[in-house]
Amino acid sequence: MKNILLAVTGGIAAYKAIDLTSKLTQAGYDVRVMLTSHAQKFVTALSFQAIGRNPVYTDTFIEENPQEIQHVALGDWADAIIVAPATANTIAKLSTGIADDIVTTTLLATETPKFIVPAMNVHMYENRRTQHNIEVLKEDGYHFIEPGEGFLACGYVAKGRMAEPLDIVSTIDRFATDSEATESTAEAPNHHIESTFAEKRALVTAGPTVEELDPVRYLSNRSSGKMGYLIAEALVERGAQVTLVSGPTHLAVPEGVEIVNTQSAQEMFEAVTERYDDQDIVFKAAAVSDYAPATPLTHKLKKQDGELQVTFTRTPDILKYLGEHKTHQYLVGFAAETQNIDNYAKAKLQRKNADVIIANNVGDRSIGFSSDDNDYTMHFKDQSTAALGKHSKAKLAHLILDKLETRWQ
C-alpha cells in the first residue's frame, strides 16, 4: 500500500493534518490532499502542497485533466483515504450519503478503505445523533481512529482531540501490513500454518523509564514505546496471551493486551520478575535507564552558582537477571547502538544469556527512537543472523515473529 488520500475538513485540528502529511510522507507514502472550503478557513493548500509535493484538491468542479473525472480518479488512485480531522458535520453528511463538496463526493464515489479521525467538542462527539452517524458508517465498513482526551479548543478537558499524527500513521502501517499478509495468503493459501505463539504466554516491555532527581526533574530517554506496543499487538493477533509492561508513553494500549504501567527501572524490574516464571517468551524492548540519581530529592533543587554534581547509582539489569534465571523461557533482547553494532549485539547475546538479540543503529535519526521506521538485524544464539531491512515498525513486528515462528520453541 502506497497511495494515501488525505481529506481535511473544517475544524481547528486541521493544523494537525499538516503534520500528518509530513509524517505520512516520511513513512514512505505518496500523499495527496483534499480540502473542504471550511478547512481552508484554518489552513492553506500551499502548506500541504509544499510538504506533500503533490497538487491539492479544493473544488469538485475544477477538472484539471479532461481525460478523467477528478473525484472518481482520486478514489481509484488511493489505497486508503483518511479524513482528518473529521468534523461532526462531515460525519453526518457521509452517513446520509450527501455529496456536496470535493471530500464527500470523492468518498461516495469509491470503495477504497476509509479511515475517519473525529475531532470536535466533547458534547458534539457524545451527541446521540453523532454517535448514531458513527455507528452507521462503521456498519458501512468505515474504520474509526478514536479521538483522545485532553484540552479542547472550547476550553473543556475531555474527549474530542484529534488522534496524534504518529498514532494515525501507526494505524495505517498496521492496516498496510495486514493487507499485504492477506494478499500473500490469498496468493499462496497452502503456505498458511497455525502460529506457534497461539495460547502461549508472552511478556513484552516497552517505552522508557523515568528516574526522578527531584519533584520536577528526571532522567529518561527518547524511546516512544512504539516497537514494544506493536510487538504486543502482533502477538495478540497470533493468539498469544500478552502482558505489556510499559514505561510512560502516549500510545493506546492494543486490544486484548494486559497492561502494567511502570515509571522507574526498579518498578519495571519488579513488574517483570514477578511475572517471569509464568511466561513462555519475553521481549525486552523497553529502553531502561542504566543509572538513576542515588538520592532523589524531596524538594525542588534550587539554582546555585558553580557546577552541579549528582551521584548516580546503577539500576537493575533486567535482561541480565532474566538470562540468569531462565528455566523454560525464550528470551529476546534488543540492542540500540551507535557504533560497532553487530559486535556489541553478539557480545550482549552471550553476556545476557539471551536467545536472540535484535540490534539497530539509533545513531541514524531516520530510524529508531520516535521514528515510525527501523532497520533490524537479529542475532541468534546459534550464531546465525537475519537482516530484516528497513521497514515500518508495524511491519517489522510481524517480520520478527515470522523469523521466530519455527525457532523459538
Q: Is 352 annotated as a binding residue?
A: yes
Q: Lowest-pLDDT range, 40-54, 169-183, 209-223, 373-387?
A: 169-183
What is the DSSP pairing of strand 281-284 with strand 330-337?
Answer: parallel
Q: What is the pLDDT of residue 144?
A: 92
Q: Is 167 annotated as a binding residue?
A: no
Alpha carbons 285 and 206: distance in angstroms, whole number: 5
Provide the grid cell at 170: 501507526
Q: Lowest-pLDDT range, 224-238, 272-286, 321-335, 367-381?
A: 367-381
Q: Which of 154, 216, 301, 310 is catalytic?
A: 154
Q: Is 35 annotated as a binding residue?
A: no
Q: Is 301 annotated as a binding residue?
A: no
Full-model pTM: 0.57
* Cα 35-9-172 angle, rounded to 5 deg: 90
Residues 6+ apart with CB under 8 A from 68: none
Q: What is the pLDDT of residue 261?
A: 96
CA dihedral (105, 110, 112, 116) positive or negative: positive
Q: Lowest-pLDDT range, 13-22, 249-258, 362-371?
A: 362-371
* pLDDT (average), residues 386-390: 87
Which pLDDT tens digit goes with each residue over 117-155? 999 988 899 899 999 999 999 999 999 998 887 777 767
Residue 154 known to be catalytic: yes
Provide the grid cell at 102: 470535493
Q: What is the pLDDT of residue 72?
A: 87
| Rounded (10°) angle between helices 128-139 and 88-96 | 50
Q: Is 66 annotated as a binding residue?
A: no
Percent of the chain scoring above 70 in pLDDT? 92
Q: What is the pLDDT of residue 180?
A: 60
Which pLDDT tens digit goes with each residue over 108-118? 999 999 999 99
Most confident of 166-175, 220-229, 333-342: 220-229
Q: What is the pLDDT of residue 46?
A: 92
Of 356, 276, 365, which is closest to residue 318 (Cα–Cα)? Answer: 276
Q: What is the pLDDT of residue 368?
A: 55
> Where do the DSSP E strands lie in 137-207?
143-144, 148-151, 157-161, 201-206
Q: What is the pLDDT of residue 156?
A: 67
Alpha carbons 258 and 242: distance in angstroms, whole number: 6
Q: How confident is the model at residue 364 (pLDDT cuts 50, 70, 90)?
A: low
